[in-house]
Amino acid sequence: MAYEIGVGPAQITINVGESVLITEIDGQIHQPSERGLFFRDTRLVSAWMATVDDRPWQVLNSAATDPFAAQVVLVNPVLPKDDGEVPAGSISLTLSRLLEQGGMRETLTVRNHNRIPVRLSLAVRFSCDFADLFDVKARRIVTRGQTCSRWSCEKGCITTVHTNGSFRRGLSVGPADGAHRPVLRDGALCFLLELDPRRSWSTDLDYCWIDGDRTLDGPGLRFAERERSGPSVGLQAWRDGATRLRTPHIGLQQLYDQSFDDLAALRLPFEGTDFNNFVPAAGIPWFAALFGRDSLITAIQTVPIYPDFARGALELLARYQATEADDSRDMQPGKIPHELRRGEIASLHLNPYWPYYGTADATPLYLILLHRAWQYTGDRGLIERHLVTAERCLA
């Protein structure tokens, strides 16, 4: 039977750990759609648009330059003015984004390619629906809890927070230190620009995630400085610490290198271990979460390349090994979980994914990975560390 191979939708996807940004190819987010800015299974930004004199920009070029960064070049439509008009394509907006686990820095650079000065209004408008990932995928957005926004004129910053019982998640957007401060106009962050011929203007907006009572740290660096960012430094450490292939076969070399970097994009950080703090996620964009089967199989397959994936998967999944029975989550003592989610629905126990145990293979796969990791590393301490977990799996 013939199998049709196709490509996904035209969009830009970047991610770092549990933070994922999916936009149109023009860097914007139009609704209704499944796109948005997500953190821990919650859509922080559901719509995003930039305008010039209240008119939409037109895309010229765009790309994800790294797994964690993207750049889009936009140009203006015809802009009517009192003394004539600004020709289409004579003003450019370069939109550069650098994503981190706890936030994003967005650099807006406008350049006047005309031989005359121009006066423009640049506006950034976004919406936050804080929809749960399961609702977004089902294209059935359910309004829960309360969402409140607060504007600080002094800081030029807008903070939106969603709460529902013990669940609290939010987003703060404002200028980076030393950057131009916007004004709020009709719900949009607005900059009034006067550009001389062949001159440019630039500013930075910081998007910071709010998780519970904490406001997380964003990049602190611009797109142009991304080689010094946390994701870039971490990627280089990953490359330096893993098995590399060197071959005169150009196609094989490119295949290995691309697969290697794609695998790096699946690294899911977690706290409180003495390893490299990574476990393989199940997939981007919808499965940037801990899974039993997916994380274990990936770790089994990559032990010769990166054994710390095995250490991370064994460590984190052991934390969630079932100790009691709960039929609502298919939970039985000794079982390794199938899936752990951190969105609003799971956090409030409105679905069984906190975590869910309905899988037959995660538990034996845990034992297979433990044995495979010991075979490749010879690390007896790995067996000793997880012996009790393994015995519970067998029981």
pLDDT (0 to 100) of residue 275? 46
Cα radius of gyration rounded to whole Å, the chain: 24
Find the helix or strand (DSSP H, E) in which 365 lies.
helix 362-377
**What DSSP assignment string belongs to 157-177?**
EEEEEEEETTEEEEEEEEEPT
Whether 211 and 269 share a structural domain: no
Whether 123 and 196 share a structural domain: yes
Residue 314 lies in a domain: yes
pLDDT (0 to 100) of residue 269? 85
pLDDT (0 to 100) of residue 273? 52
Q: Reduced to 3 states, what is the DSSP secondary structure of residue 56? A: strand
Domain finish residue from 220, 251, 272 = 220
The stretches in the chain having pLDDT less than 70 are 1, 6, 8, 271-276
Residue 234 lies in a domain: no
Whether 59 and 138 share a structural domain: yes
Whether 324 and 375 share a structural domain: yes
Q: Find the CATH number of the domain harbouring 55.
A: 2.70.98.40
Residue 151 lies in a domain: yes
Residue 125 lies in a domain: yes
232-242 in b/e burial notation, b at 16+ Cβ within 10 A?
bebbeebeeeb
Whether 181 and 308 share a structural domain: no
pLDDT (0 to 100) of residue 272? 60
Cα–Cα distance measured from residue 370 to residue 373, given in angstroms and rounded to the nearest whole number: 5
Whether 163 and 292 share a structural domain: no
Whether 180 and 326 share a structural domain: no
Domain finish residue from 220, 254, 270 = 220
pLDDT (0 to 100) of residue 1? 67
Residue 228 lies in a domain: no
pLDDT tens digit sequence for 317-367: 999 999 999 999 999 999 999 999 999 999 999 999 999 999 999 999 999
Residue 174 lies in a domain: yes
Whether 78 and 208 share a structural domain: yes
Whether 199 and 305 share a structural domain: no
C-alpha dihedral over 350, 36, 191, 230, to 10 degrees? 90
Whether 36 and 85 share a structural domain: yes
Residue 232 lies in a domain: no
pLDDT (0 to 100) of residue 276? 54
Residue 227 lies in a domain: no
Strand partners, 151: 158
pLDDT (0 to 100) of residue 235? 87
Q: Which domain holds residue 204?
A: 12-220
The count of structural domains within the chain is 2
pLDDT (0 to 100) of residue 242? 86
Whether 214 and 250 share a structural domain: no
Domain finish residue from 220, 254, 287 = 220
Cα–Cα distance measured from residue 97 to residue 226, given in angstroms and rounded to the nearest whole number: 10
Return the number of other C-beta atoms located less than 10 Å from residue 252's C-beta. 11
Cα–Cα distance measured from residue 124 to residue 108, given in angstroms and rounded to the nearest whole number: 10
Dihedral (CA of 219, 223, 225, 228) sign: positive
Whether 176 and 290 share a structural domain: no
